[in-house]
Amino acid sequence: MIRKGFRKVLAPIRSFVDHHARLHRWRQKGDRLVANHPLKHLFWEATFQCNLTCRHCGSSCGSRIPEGLLTAAEVKAAFQQIADDFMARKIVLSITGGEPLLRKDLAECCAAITFHGFRAGIVTNGTLATEERARELVDAGIPHYAVSLDGPPDAHDWLRGGNNAYDRTTRGIHNLLGTRGVKHVEVLSCIHPRTIDRLEETEKIVFDLGVGTWRLFIIDPIGRADEGLYLDSPQFRKLLAFVAERRADPNYPIRIAFTEQGYLGFPYEFSVRPSGFMCDAGIRTASVLYDGAICGCPSMSRRLLQGNIKTDRFWEVWQHGFKEYRNRTREGRPGCASCGVFEYCRGGCMHLFDEELGGPVHCHYKQLGGKP
């Protein structure tokens, strides 16, 4: 009886020690990745145009075809160049936007890209994923899809600007799942104050759709987002507890994770996602934007652009650029300089970095009660 009680007292201490041991190993892995910067993940922002007017859009996309959009010939040349210099089959390519399915030549571009061996998937709002379009894209070598679905019909339509977005999105998911050759469909959900108390309702919708993965986000203060879309601290903790509980259940029927949005601290790191926090931008991840600009990820400030695929060889930019991305020191992050967890966080995600603050515009660790 005494031994059992002793184990109960020791359990949280052991959990804390194990957590920090994992963090230390994860930091060491991060140091090696920064030194070697192997390109593993590439975004292609196929367009900046979108058919929805989402309240939270981090890119502030619009309805018009953007000026300077890469032509199909330029896209093909860009990925030919990248395939010549890198092992394409080792690179995961995420095709995003805007809404990529608005590009009439998308399948043509995708066929040329996947010919080189890139392992490609599309991030879409799903509203344009007709049976015909799904077939066309699968035939072009795209077997993986991530579709934004943020909650029950009223909540999803409110966030996405109406126009029966929910019905069109769920129909698109069904079309993708019903297309021979589609290997995986996942749902991406942005959780905000209107949906934080409807997680179980949203979960049932995700289950009923029959997708394989559910990834949950919160809305960060970038782009069109305003304060009414941000979770407060208790709401954020509620979301993380929801995810952690399900990830700990060996019988949970699908994969579920909170996304790589920021360092969370104990006990959330490793419990709400399969690895610890690391902003991969410029370390393992890069992007080619709609106009050919090269940067870390599509949500970055254009101040952090490193070149343009129209005029620069991507390999040269990757090898000799991205210095600010890879040299994340306390000196370069004065707003984070005195923080006790800087070695694990390194100033947070690059897309949230603010020069005036000398740190992120939002710190997830502090929101959860962490002591900087």
pLDDT band at 330 (very low <50, low <70, confident <90, very high): confident
* Model pLDDT, residue 300: 85
Question: Tokens in use for 40?
Answer: 């593993």
* Model pLDDT, residue 102: 97
Mean pLDDT along residues 335-348: 91
Distance CA 104, CA 10 (A): 60
Which tens digits make up the pLDDT trace of 113-134?
999 999 999 999 999 999 999 9
pTM over 0.95: no
Report yes or no: 363 and 260 within 8 Å, Cβ to Cβ: no
Which tens digits make up the pLDDT trace of 178-190?
999 999 999 999 9
pLDDT band at 260 (very low <50, low <70, confident <90, very high): confident
Helix and strand element counts for the chain (H, E): 12, 12
Question: Tokens in use for 137?
Answer: 């894209």
* Model pLDDT, residue 91: 98
- Per-residue pLDDT at 86 exceeds 70: yes
CA angle 104, 295, 65 (to 5 degrees): 25
- Per-residue pLDDT at 11 exceeds 90: no
Range 160-166, long-range pairs (CB < 8 A, 24+ positions): 160/52, 160/53, 160/54, 160/55, 160/125, 161/52, 161/53, 161/54, 161/55, 163/52, 165/52, 165/125, 165/127
Name the average pLDDT for the chain. 92
pLDDT band at 4 (very low <50, low <70, confident <90, very high): low
DSSP state of 295: E
Strands 293-295 and 307-308: antiparallel
Higher-confidence position of 46 and 17: 46
Phi, psi of 223 (to 5 degrees): 60, -130
List the single range of 172-186, 200-214, 234-248, 291-305 with lowest mean pLDDT: 291-305
SS3 56: coil
Strands 293-295 and 285-288: antiparallel
* Model pLDDT, residue 135: 98
* Residue % of the chain over a pLDDT of 90: 74
* Model pLDDT, residue 337: 87
